[in-house]
Amino acid sequence: LEVIRGVEPRIADAIAGEIDDQRASLKLIASENYASPAVLLTMGNWLSDKYAEGTVGRRFYAGCRNVDTVESVAAEHARELFGARHAYVQPHSGIDANLVAFWAVLAQRVESPALERAGARQVNDLSEEDWAALRRDLGDQRMLGMSLDAGGHLTHGFRPNISGKMFHQRSYGTDPATGLVDYDAVRAAAREFRPLILIAGYSAYPRLINFRLMREIADEVGATLMVDMAHFAGLVAGKVLTGDFDPVPHAQIVTTTTHKSLRGPRGGMVLCDDSLADQVDRGCPMVLGGPLPHVMAAKAVALAEARQPAFRDYAQRVVDNARALAEGLKRRGTRLVTDGTDNHLVLLDVSGYGLTGRQAEAALLDAGIVTNRNAIPQDPNGAWYTSGIRVGTPALTTRGLGTAEMDEVAALIDTVLSSTTPGTTKSGKPSKAAHVLKDGVAGQVAERAADL
Ligand code: PLP
């Protein structure tokens, strides 16, 4: 830190401040974790300096032998860990991994047939007319994914994201009575909409998805099944999600981030069957620039860690802790979307406390509990203020907290939310953003949170 301080003290302070914050608060953001020192150290070294566009053994730059080793080892660990035929470890993030996957499917299902019809080997060989027709066809494809308020992700075809500008999108939601995915409704939507890609995966759905059923639906309508397991990859790696709930044997293509429940460096990854391997490997330069060799190296280290028996124990504890947290909250009267959890996350409906998600998020932060507000199904407060709070257990489980502590965390959350009332705007009107937390509660809870 002193070396950094000598160059830019504000950055040294921010790093030290982040360590302090992470130590003192309860990190309940479902997509965050604590990477190991081995993973962190692997990111801060000379591998960072190397350009290596292309793939292993086929680079656009000389001198890539060490990066080739790094990328091969990371891909090997990914294949072995997840039982995948092919792994592509270059994506810099989850959104990049999804873009690589989308374009791989488009290349396989739309571009390759067009090239074949035109007798061309590559797009540069197409006539202006055929090229214009191909661009129209690429822009005319459909994607069916989970709606945002049911827990889907912005990258699954929603307008504010590039995916929503690339594809015509339709969503499947959840059953309003149970909050669960209704596979008959997904099938009906797929039959009517005929998507090129059926996408399964979520950021805020607290239950499991049956990927065998999803593949059946995809096959019936001629869609490619893509699963974005960014949130629950650690549970797949730790063999908590198996059989119908493990996406890898069922989907043609699976994407993930590496930094959430998988506990690696920030980054993304694509797993696929043999039919898509060549297209996926064209991710660079299709949608990615030069890979980040230091991050691929850290992915290799994290994946090696995830292959250890201790990681299976960790993944099981993540789920046990989420269940204990859900039970603790329910016992105290908190309403939960789907009434519980089967995975690493719990979605609280805080409207019963008379709060918006935004007010609840801010009050919890005052008390040293870091969460994020999240829309709930049919949310009357929309995606900005929301009525929900999403919490997850991957980070606290890494810190060694168990089910007994989860009950205490539930009690702390309930204490803060019960002690909070909505505030008013500057002009005295009721506010959806401002909150008032009873005197003394923030300090008391924060003290206990820091002890945990
Ligand atoms: N996919 C899902 C399901 C996610 O939850 C996220 C991140 O929250 C992403 C993709 C995007 O990941 P990144 O932030 O690394 O781009």
User: How many beta carbons lie within 10 A of that of residue 188, not counting itself?
Assistant: 13
Determine the 3-state secondary structure of 257 from DSSP.
strand
Residue 197 forms beta bridges with which residues? Answer: 143, 224
Question: Of 248, 216, 249, which is closest to residue 233 (Cα–Cα)?
Answer: 248
pLDDT-based confidence at 257, cuts 50/70/90?
very high
**Residues 6+ positions from 310 with CB-CB distance below 8 Å:** none
Q: DSSP readout, 291-340? A: --HHHHHHHHHHHHHHTSHHHHHHHHHHHHHHHHHHHHHHHTT-EEGGGS
From ligand 1's centre to the CA of 386, what distance in Å?
19
What mean pLDDT value characterizes the chain? 96
Q: Lowest-pLDDT range, 120-134, 270-284, 315-329, 423-437? A: 423-437
**Candidate from 96, 203, 261, 269 with most ligand 1 atoms within 8 A of CB, to mutate:** 203
344 lines ligand 1 (CB under 6 A): no
Q: Is there a binding annotation on residue 115?
A: no
Q: Which of 42, 224, 255, 257 is catalytic?
A: 257
Q: Is there a binding annotation on residue 148?
A: yes
Confidence at residue 434, expressed as pLDDT on a 0 to 100 scale: 94
List the residue whose alpha carbon is closest to atom 9 of ligand 1: 94
CA distance 305 to 315: 12
Query: Cis before residue 394, ω within 30 degrees of 0?
Result: no
Active-site residue flag, 421:
no
155 lines ligand 1 (CB under 6 A): yes
Q: Which of 85, 142, 187, 266 is catalytic?
A: 266
From ligand 1's centre to the CA of 448, what distance in Å?
31
Confidence at residue 337, expressed as pLDDT on a 0 to 100 scale: 96
From ligand 1's centre to the CA of 178, what distance in Å?
26
How much is the ipTM here? 0.98
pLDDT-based confidence at 426, cuts 50/70/90?
confident
Confidence at residue 216, expressed as pLDDT on a 0 to 100 scale: 98
pLDDT digits (tens, 9 = 90+) for 8-44: 999 999 999 999 999 889 999 999 999 999 999 999 9
pLDDT-based confidence at 306, cuts 50/70/90?
very high
Q: Is there a binding annotation on residue 364?
A: no
From ligand 1's centre to the CA of 55, what distance in Å?
24
200 lines ligand 1 (CB under 6 A): no
Instruction: Give the position of tokens 């935004």.
Output: 358
Q: Which of 5, 34, 50, 53 is catalytic?
A: 53
pTM: predicted TM-score of the whole model, two decimal places: 0.96
Q: Where are the strands (E) in 217-282, listed by range?
A: 224-228, 253-257, 268-272
pLDDT digits (tens, 9 = 90+) for 318-375: 999 999 999 999 999 999 999 999 999 999 999 999 999 999 999 999 999 999 999 9
pLDDT-based confidence at 105, cuts 50/70/90?
very high
Please provide the size of the chain in residues. 452
93 lines ligand 1 (CB under 6 A): yes
201 lines ligand 1 (CB under 6 A): yes
pLDDT digits (tens, 9 = 90+) for 388-411: 999 999 999 999 999 999 999 999
Whether 269 and 298 have beta carbons less than 8 Å apart is answered as no
Q: Residue 7 above 90 pLDDT? A: yes
Own/partner long-range contacts of 396-402 (Cβ < 8 Å, ≥24 apart): 396/26, 396/27, 396/28, 396/321, 397/314, 397/317, 397/318, 397/321, 398/33, 398/34, 398/263, 398/314, 399/27, 399/34, 401/321, 401/452, 402/317, 402/320, 402/321
95 lines ligand 1 (CB under 6 A): yes
Instruction: Tokens for 206, please give them.
Output: 């607290």
Active-site residue flag, 266:
yes
DSSP state of 393: -
State mean pLDDT over 157-182.
Answer: 94
Q: Residue 308 above 90 pLDDT? A: yes
Share of the chain above pLDDT 70, in %: 100
pLDDT-based confidence at 142, cuts 50/70/90?
very high
Q: Is there a binding annotation on residue 259?
A: no
Q: Which of 111, 149, 228, 342 is catalytic?
A: 228
Confidence at residue 201, expressed as pLDDT on a 0 to 100 scale: 97
Question: Angle at which helices 65-82 and 293-306 pack, to 10 degrees?
Answer: 30
